[in-house]
Amino acid sequence: MTNETINLFTEIAEKSVATIKEVGELNLRTFEALAAKQVEIVQNAAETGAQQSAALTDIKDIKDINDINQAITAQSELATSFADQLSANVNQIADIFKSAQDEFTGLADKVLADAKVNAEKVASISKDEVEKAVKAAKDKSAV
């Protein structure tokens, strides 16, 4: 094997390791973003539950229909607020996945382009090595 061949395979190996590292970093960033969003959703649910409990305990004596309507209105407003927050969180999660997908696609495109270039280099080096071997064999048989 020539130095050119060894250098090419070293370069390919180094790029492969770098790509694996980039994919790992992308996965880690995506996981961290999703975990943070999950914590936010759980906190919103807990806060909404506490607010619902507080709203119901604030109404100590239900004397007439207005007290019932007040409790229902408070529950409805909290449920709507929570649903809006949850919807926003779901949209943000979709954005996290879309961003990760775009970054992964870009990385895959780069790897495929590198693979094509490297395959052409390997083919060229192999052709040169075969030609040298054939020439050497002819030279030996001519002696």
Distance of alpha carbon 92 from alpha carbon 94, whole angstroms: 5
Note down the domain range covering 133: 3-142
Strand, coil or helix: 63:
coil
Q: Which residue has the tokens 């050497």?
A: 136
Q: Which two tokens stand for residue 78?
A: 């909290």
Burial call 49-76: b when 16+ CB within 10 Å, e when fewer: eebbeebeeeeeeeeeeeeeeebeebee
- In the chain, the number of structural domains is 1
pLDDT in the model for residue 34:
97
Q: Which of 15-24, 75-84, 92-101, 121-130 has the lowest mean pLDDT?
A: 121-130
Q: Which two tokens stand for residue 122?
A: 């390997």
pLDDT in tens, 47-60: 999 998 887 777 76
Which pLDDT band, with edges at 50, 70 and 90, does 18 fall under? very high
Which pLDDT band, with edges at 50, 70 and 90, does 128 fall under? confident
Q: How many CA atoms lie within 13 A of 104 on its CB side?
A: 14
pLDDT in the model for residue 103:
96
Q: Which residue has the tokens 């040169």?
A: 128
pLDDT in tens, 30-50: 999 999 999 999 999 999 999
pLDDT in the model for residue 143:
65
Under 8 Å between Cβ of 14 and 114: no
